[in-house]
Amino acid sequence: MKILVLIVFLLCIAVEAQVAPRQVGVERDVLLQPLALQVSRLGNALKFLGQPLSDEKKRRLAEAIGNGDESAAARGIEAALDPLVLAVVDINAESRVKVQHGAAEPELVQGGARFFLVKVLNRAHITSRLVVDSKNSLPIFVRSNGSPTPPVELTATDVRDRWAEISIYGKPPMEERLSGVGLEYLILEVYSRDSGQRAAEISFNVGQGSQDIGFRNDILVVFHALPSHTIKLHVLDENYQPTMASFTIRDQHGRLYPNPSKRLAPDFFFQPQIYRVDGETIDLPPGRYTMEVGSGPEYFVQSREIDVTADAPRELSFQLERWIDPSRYGWYSGDHHIHAAGCSHYQNPTEGVLPKDMGRQIEGEKLNIGAVLNWGPSYYYQKQFFSGQDDPVSRRNELLHYDLEVSGFPSSQSGHLVLLGLKDQNYPGTKKIEDWPTWDLPVLQWAHQQGAVTGFAHSGWGLEVSDHEVPSFELPAFDSIGANEYIVDVTHPGIVDFISAGDTPYVWELSIWYHILNVGFRTRIAGETDFPCITDERVGQGRSYVKVEGPLTYSKWIAGIRSGRSYVSTGQAHLMDFSVNDVSVGVGNSEVRLSGPGTVHASVRVAALLGLEPNLKVEKSPYGGGVVQDLEGRPSAVLWDIERARVGNTRKVQVELVVNDRVAQSKLIMADGSLQDVSFDVPVTQSSWMAFRILPAAHTNPIFIVVNERQICTSSASAQWALDAVRQCWSQKERQISLDERPTARSAYDRAEQVYEQLKEECALAK
């Protein structure tokens, strides 16, 4: 009987050898388009995971994909990727799985993860999940409803043998299931608890009964895990005081440390950098590393190569160097739009992260103010940290304060609202988010009743236009979540204090603001990042610098946002102490009064810093059309960036004085970090507004020139644009406002139309 079974087994092998298709991609045609797209997503995933493809591999892949011969192109892709393959999984026409060793070097690191490729030859073209299993991996049992089962009890032998965590990485941009194409590559993640040689049996299947006969669906891999060494970091600021800094650490292969996929708060897995304060540590295996050390845009980034060996010192020292410190002149930086939950953040089991984790981000980027906004995701968990006071983790001149973004609420479709300085986060008569108003004006009125400073978030969304002129006279769709209903709410005096800038395309943001200034309203702008939603790179990529007299407090800072005693910046350019005829911006309602036409003197202190050579990452990144991506496909906040202000290949930028939406005068300055005085004498014939800008890196708030007590009303075309905008906004928002609130909302829209109709006539007469 045993002989008969053996004969049948050998016959099965022989038959399969005769009928099995030839190697996919090498000897038979492969459809290049789906393979190339999958390889592109694979490269993006590996970069996100901190183990990017080398420049040489990316070059070879690009050459292969560009080959007009699809078979040759597929072979080129295989030749580039196969050296990274740990296991080749062959799924035959009957969905039987067999596995062979790949060519990848099985090297691991103690206490960290490494990523390998799994090459899948999918002859059955199935779309099941490819499941990896190993008795040497810590078990994760899942019920049929997707929830984890209680942990199992492990024996001492289990603890010894289960030294690894081995899994297929199936999160975006990768997929949880096979695509069904004949050839694709998956990512295998292997984490090692131990150092030294460790063996693992690794098997694959695509469902019950798919294992091939003869124990051919598993392989035995002997890994070598490099030991980790603990390095103590000493970090001093420019005044030789202990401080926090950001560290981006890569080995000679471009791999990030600690590995992002295994990071836990306060280290964020979606950022390349980590933050360490003086005296804290980092674990690294032997090797050569490049460390980039910085602390926000006001500091130079230092780069240092280090060698970690068994005999190398276990301590490293760094001293940070500023190129500018606006707080020395009374200008304090802040980001009013930061989140501790939602978007890229950890969601389970803590429903976001804690104040102490956000505090490290703010301290590490040297923000003076960080407004952490509770919003829809994890609202009920995160609101426990709202107190109306600075959070206890705050430090002197590094204040963390919880407030609110009305996002994920019923009114969100009208535009997301930022409410700063709230005393109470509960809208009257509501017990849950769904009870709140379905349009913005009632929320703004309620917030102002308790003294809050109010504005619109990520203003450009819904205001997309195709041209690059500021202001654009194209009529946007008003169909999204930016400063949409602002066009209505601003006609109610004192209800909207600011709109946000710095995290959406500047033409979209500034156009609506310029139009509103042209017809006499005095809303200010404030800088924000919307971390980690629009971008998860760093907090404070969009900032407001506010002039504060005396000790810094949150209430003083947001009061400066309301009064406009501030400028918006990425931190790479600064426009301090803007004044007209010695009236400083944000002081005395920012008004200069003239009895008749005359000449005014406008001045500002300017500093900007550009690299010696153009930054191609920013230069080649597309503008507009949603979230900008860098050259590797990651979201990148380069919408506002000093690099976009560079004049040609020089190190110069243009400082412009804007009068009533037009550049009145300008001056080229060297962006070498030095502080420079810029001033102009400007004739004024009618009531006007003025502001300085370095577009798109910094913009002051306006100073208003009132001539003969006449209201500012400089453009009937802007009034007509606003009138058309109200009507367009209603066409998009009406159906999303509840039936019981719709009559009141309609009345507010009607009132706004009447206001702009009247302003159109007044502006025409003013000419």
For residues 1-5, average pLDDT: 42
Q: 748 and 666 share a domain? A: no
Whether 307 is in a domain gets the answer yes
**Does 500 lie in the same domain as 587?**
yes
Tell me phi and psi for residue 218, to 5 degrees: -135, 160
pLDDT tens sequence across 218-228: 999 999 999 99
Residues 238 and 309 in one domain: yes
What is the pLDDT averaged over residues 293-299?
Answer: 97
Structure tokens at 453: 């400073």
> Does residue 146 lie in a domain region?
no
Identify the band that residue 211 occupies on the pLDDT scale cut at 50, 70 and 90.
low
Q: 488-523, pLDDT tens digit by residue?
A: 999 998 999 999 999 999 999 999 999 999 999 999
The confidence score (pLDDT) of residue 623 equals 59
In angstroms, rounded to a whole number, what is the distance separating the alpha carbons of residues 523 and 739? 30
Residue 690 lies in a domain: yes
The predicted pLDDT at position 217 comes to 85
Q: 255 pLDDT band (50/70/90 cuts)?
A: very high
Query: Do 537 and 600 sit in the same domain of this protein?
Result: yes
Q: Tens digit of pLDDT for each residue in 616-673?
A: 777 656 655 334 443 334 444 458 999 999 999 999 999 999 999 999 999 999 999 9
pTM above 0.85, yes or no: yes
Phi, psi of 523 (to 5 degrees): -60, 145
| Confidence label for 615 from pLDDT (cuts 50, 70 and 90) | confident
Is 364 in a helix, a strand, or coil?
helix
- Output the pLDDT for position 212: 58
Is the pLDDT score of 417 beyond 50?
A: yes
Query: Using CA atoms, how far apart are residues 458 and 455, in angstroms rounded to an integer?
Result: 10
CA distance 767 to 765: 5
pLDDT average, residue stretch 408-414: 97
Say if residue 168 is in the same domain as residue 273.
no
Q: Is residue 155 part of a domain?
A: no
> Domains in the chain: how many in total?
4
Q: ∠331-333-336 over CA atoms, to 5°?
A: 135
**Residue 148 confidence (pLDDT) above 70:** no
Q: Do 99 and 189 share a domain, yes or no? A: yes
Alpha helices (H) in 408-553, listed in sequence order: 440-449, 486-489, 506-518
Which is nearest to 581 in space by CA: 708, 705, 710? 705
- Asked if pLDDT for residue 435 goes beyond 50, the answer is yes
CA atoms within 13 A on the CB side of 737: 23
Could you tell me if 217 and 191 lie in one domain?
Answer: yes
Residues 408 and 516 in one domain: yes
pLDDT of 348 strictly over 90 = no
pLDDT of residue 16: 40
Does residue 521 share a domain with residue 436?
yes
Give mean pLDDT, residues 742-758.
98
Amino acid at 195: S
- pLDDT score at 619: 63
Q: Looking at the predicted structure, is the pLDDT value of residue 146 above 90? A: no
Residues 92 and 237 in one domain: no
| Average pLDDT score, the chain | 90
How far are the Cα atoms of 135, 157, 196, 397 from residue 222, in angstroms, in the given order? 14, 19, 10, 53
245 shares its domain with 200: no
271-275, long-range: CB < 8 A, 24+ apart? 271/536, 271/537, 271/538, 272/50, 272/248, 273/246, 273/247, 273/248, 273/364, 273/538, 274/246, 274/247, 274/248, 274/249, 275/244, 275/245, 275/246, 275/247, 275/360, 275/361, 275/363, 275/364
CB atoms closer than 10 angstroms to residue 8: 11
Instruction: Report CA torsion sign: 85, 88, 91, 96.
Output: negative
Q: What is the pLDDT of residue 621?
A: 63
Helices (H), 473-547: 486-489, 506-518
**pLDDT tens, position by position, 212-249:** 555 588 999 999 999 999 999 999 999 999 999 999 99
Task: Name the strand (E) or helix (H) holding 147.
Answer: none
* Residues β-bridged to residue 683: 599
DSSP-assigned letters across all residues of 589-633: GGEEEESSSEEEEEEEEEEEB--SS--HHHHTSPPSSSS-B-TTS
∠ CA 342-546-426 to the nearest 5 degrees? 40
665-701 pLDDT tens trace: 999 999 999 999 999 999 999 999 999 999 999 999 9
Please report the pLDDT score of residue 149 as a whole number. Answer: 40
pLDDT at residue 364 tops 70: yes
Domain region containing 89: 19-140+160-225
* 571 falls within a domain: yes
Buried b (16+ CB within 10 A) or exposed e, 219-233: bebebebbebbebeb
Tell whether 312 is covered by a domain: yes
CA angle 316, 238, 503 (to 5 degrees): 95
Q: What is the mean pLDDT of residues 712-724?
A: 97
pLDDT digits (tens, 9 = 90+) for 29-81: 578 899 999 999 999 999 999 999 999 999 999 999 999 888 899 999 999 99
Same-domain check for residues 349 and 388: yes
